A and B are shown apart, each in its own frame.
Chain A
């Protein structure tokens, strides 16, 4: 049932000093006895001639049962929280979540201690929702890990289009060429291919380097219609209409002038150095009937392609969903307001449209009432950060999830929020600057995302087993697996 899974390959940070939550200090009293090296289970200290603290970031902190700072006979070691750690991130991607994701991208596993890897600090939505597990579960009737099925069918409505099953309940959301580099795009699509899922091109066109992975690419038709040609539509199995984007609903894409490099300008058929603002909405679509014409246009060029419609979350999101269904969509992709973006006005990110946690239950319920829920695949995105968020949003009614920021964090994004300025991302992820791009090696990037997804798989399997479920599809809409801390009756 499950195809061959890629291996985890330990892939440490590309930087010399990975950042962790704790730091240890070694004074000159150190005798080089090596006790710390022996008792630390995480390889924080090493002995190469002298004894050094090489890997502060792996330290799990004061809760460590084999505390090196207590065991040191010379009293040379002391442990403190790393002050730099506390300057990183924000309330949604807390420093704990950032470092946890880096850990998963390095090791293919969740952190072993000292870090909060399940929730952030936004004090609402996912961060106030909890999964409810039976305290003790009978292990003898549990399925084996290999037997738990995380796959989902993307086409639930007709036989004339491709029958596509992805082996994990998520695929990569559109991040356009120009907002991110080709290395980032390739890392994402190669990881998606290894995990038998998909990755979307975003609205910046379809670079030729993606050709070997056509079968795992979703091409996006967005309001700017950048790089959209018959040829690109024909190459893929899934076409995504992007009507809106969660982070800035009602506004089109923003690519500021400095990021419109010659390569980007060529791909988008635009002028170097001039900012690109995609219009909103599609100026050829002012009604559901117009949308149907759009769908028919795609079907004429690529008759077997699955159609995905990406919309954001207005108050009438249920109407939008049903309209898309009747116009022929296989997938309705809801992008919530707290999702990522390359650039957006802060007022839009915060205020416009609703968070995905509200939109999914509304759409799930409405589609059930209309009797079409099992004929369309509902995909959620917009601030999905961890396997726990994935489980929660599926329990609220989604079939699967789109990942965006989480993949960039795997590539060591630090959420500094400067993607759009000047040459773009100083860390080489969200940039097409030729010098900055070199900071990421494509094999490193690919493996980091593979490791992340494997860690997510493991967590999801663990969660499903604890819920007594054998497949992710059993979790869809199971709201009794969730409580919200503010409305909980004890």
Chain B
């Protein structure tokens, strides 16, 4: 099928992000319908290049991770590791000709950390500038069946 796919964003967020309960998550899903997919993770540091790559491969126009402010990570340095990994993933995708800004990290500011809803709004706004990903327009069968 090569009809225009609705642009979907994959958004990973640390569960410590303010106002990010299941209720709030579903509210955001309702607001943005199928254009965002939210994945809570126990720590920003759990994100790996693989998560981003698979998301871009399967359904996402762009993928972002929201992490806690510096010094606030419960695992001390998960947010820092996330930063490095986003950098690494950028390098990987740029090397195959995909725009680096399809991957991003949002570090919640230390003073007045923002709620999930606000952060998602910001990301959606920025990502609307992106062209549809060429990866998704490729006609390909899934790498493996879904179970």
Residues of A at the B interface (CB closer than 8 Å) are 23, 25, 78, 80-81, 83
Residues of B at the A interface (CB closer than 8 Å) are 42-43, 71, 74-77
- Contact assessment for B71 and A78 in the assembled complex, using a CB-CB cutoff below 8 Å: yes
Contacts of A23 in B (CB 8 A): 76
Q: Give A390 to B47 CA distance when docked, in angstroms.
A: 47
Q: Give A80 to B43 CA distance when docked, in angstroms.
A: 14
Q: Give A426 to B43 CA distance when docked, in angstroms.
A: 27
- Contact assessment for B74 and A81 in the assembled complex, using a CB-CB cutoff below 8 Å: yes
Contacts of A78 in B (CB 8 A): 71, 76
Contacts of A83 in B (CB 8 A): 42-43, 74-75
- Contact assessment for A25 and B74 in the assembled complex, using a CB-CB cutoff below 8 Å: no
Q: Give A415 to B75 CA distance when docked, in angstroms.
A: 23
- Contact assessment for B74 and A80 in the assembled complex, using a CB-CB cutoff below 8 Å: yes
Q: Give A259 to B6 CA distance when docked, in angstroms.
A: 54
Q: Give A78 to B71 CA distance when docked, in angstroms.
A: 9
Q: Give A81 to B71 CA distance when docked, in angstroms.
A: 14
Distance (whole angstroms) from the CB of B125 to the closest CB of chain A: 33
Contacts of A80 in B (CB 8 A): 74, 76
Q: Give A25 to B76 CA distance when docked, in angstroms.
A: 7
Q: Which residue of A lies closest to B72 (CB)?
A: A80
Q: Give A250 to B43 CA distance when docked, in angstroms.
A: 45
Q: Give A81 to B73 CA distance when docked, in angstroms.
A: 11
Q: Give A23 to B74 CA distance when docked, in angstroms.
A: 10
Q: Give A83 to B74 CA distance when docked, in angstroms.
A: 7
Distance (whole angstroms) from the CB of A27 to the closest CB of chain B: 9
Q: Give A83 to B71 CA distance when docked, in angstroms.
A: 15
Distance (whole angstroms) from the CB of B21 to the closest CB of chain A: 18
Q: Which residue of A lies closest to B75 (CB)?
A: A83
Give the interface centre of A23, A78, A83 by most chain B CB atoms within 10 Å: A83
Distance (whole angstroms) from the CB of B36 to the closest CB of chain A: 27
| A/B interface sample: 12 pairs, CB < 8 A | A23-B76, A25-B76, A25-B77, A78-B71, A78-B76, A80-B74, A80-B76, A81-B74, A83-B42, A83-B43, A83-B74, A83-B75
Q: Give A345 to B77 CA distance when docked, in angstroms.
A: 41
Q: Which residue of A lies closest to B71 (CB)?
A: A78
Distance (whole angstroms) from the CB of B16 to the closest CB of chain A: 10
Using A23-B76, A83-B42 as known contacts, list a sample of 5 further A-B pairs with CB atoms less than 8 Å apart, ordered by residue number in A: A78-B76, A80-B74, A80-B76, A83-B43, A83-B75
Contacts of A25 in B (CB 8 A): 76-77
Contacts of B43 in A (CB 8 A): 83
Q: Which residue of B lies closest to A86 (CB)?
A: B74
Q: Which residue of B lies closest to A84 (CB)?
A: B75
Q: Which residue of B lies closest to A26 (CB)?
A: B76
Distance (whole angstroms) from the CB of A284 to the closest CB of chain B: 51
Q: Give A80 to B76 CA distance when docked, in angstroms.
A: 8
Q: Give A249 to B44 CA distance when docked, in angstroms.
A: 46
Q: Which residue of B lies closest to A81 (CB)?
A: B74
Q: Give A78 to B75 CA distance when docked, in angstroms.
A: 11
Q: Give A80 to B74 CA distance when docked, in angstroms.
A: 7
Q: Give A397 to B142 CA distance when docked, in angstroms.
A: 67
Q: Give A23 to B77 CA distance when docked, in angstroms.
A: 12
Distance (whole angstroms) from the CB of A281 to the closest CB of chain B: 45
Q: Give A169 to B75 CA distance when docked, in angstroms.
A: 43
Q: Which residue of A lies closest to B43 (CB)?
A: A83
Distance (whole angstroms) from the CB of A396 to the closest CB of chain B: 41
Distance (whole angstroms) from the CB of B120 to the closest CB of chain A: 25
Q: Which residue of B lies closest to A25 (CB)?
A: B76
3 tightest Cβ-Cβ pairs between the two chains A and B: A25-B76, A83-B74, A80-B74
Contacts of B74 in A (CB 8 A): 80-81, 83
Q: Give A25 to B74 CA distance when docked, in angstroms.
A: 11
Contacts of B71 in A (CB 8 A): 78
Distance (whole angstroms) from the CB of A424 to the closest CB of chain B: 29
Distance (whole angstroms) from the CB of A80 to the closest CB of chain B: 6
Q: Give A307 to B100 CA distance when docked, in angstroms.
A: 77
Contacts of B77 in A (CB 8 A): 25
Q: Which residue of B lies closest to A87 (CB)?
A: B42
Q: Which residue of A lies closest to B73 (CB)?
A: A80
Q: Give A78 to B77 CA distance when docked, in angstroms.
A: 12
Q: Give A23 to B78 CA distance when docked, in angstroms.
A: 14
Q: Which residue of A lies closest to B74 (CB)?
A: A83
Q: Give A81 to B76 CA distance when docked, in angstroms.
A: 10
Distance (whole angstroms) from the CB of B68 to the closest CB of chain A: 12
Q: Give A440 to B75 CA distance when docked, in angstroms.
A: 30
Q: Give A80 to B78 CA distance when docked, in angstroms.
A: 13
Q: Give A25 to B70 CA distance when docked, in angstroms.
A: 13
Distance (whole angstroms) from the CB of B41 to the closest CB of chain A: 13
Distance (whole angstroms) from the CB of B42 to the closest CB of chain A: 8
Q: Give A78 to B76 CA distance when docked, in angstroms.
A: 9
Contacts of B75 in A (CB 8 A): 83
Q: Give A23 to B76 CA distance when docked, in angstroms.
A: 9
Distance (whole angstroms) from the CB of B9 to the closest CB of chain A: 28
Distance (whole angstroms) from the CB of B45 to the closest CB of chain A: 11
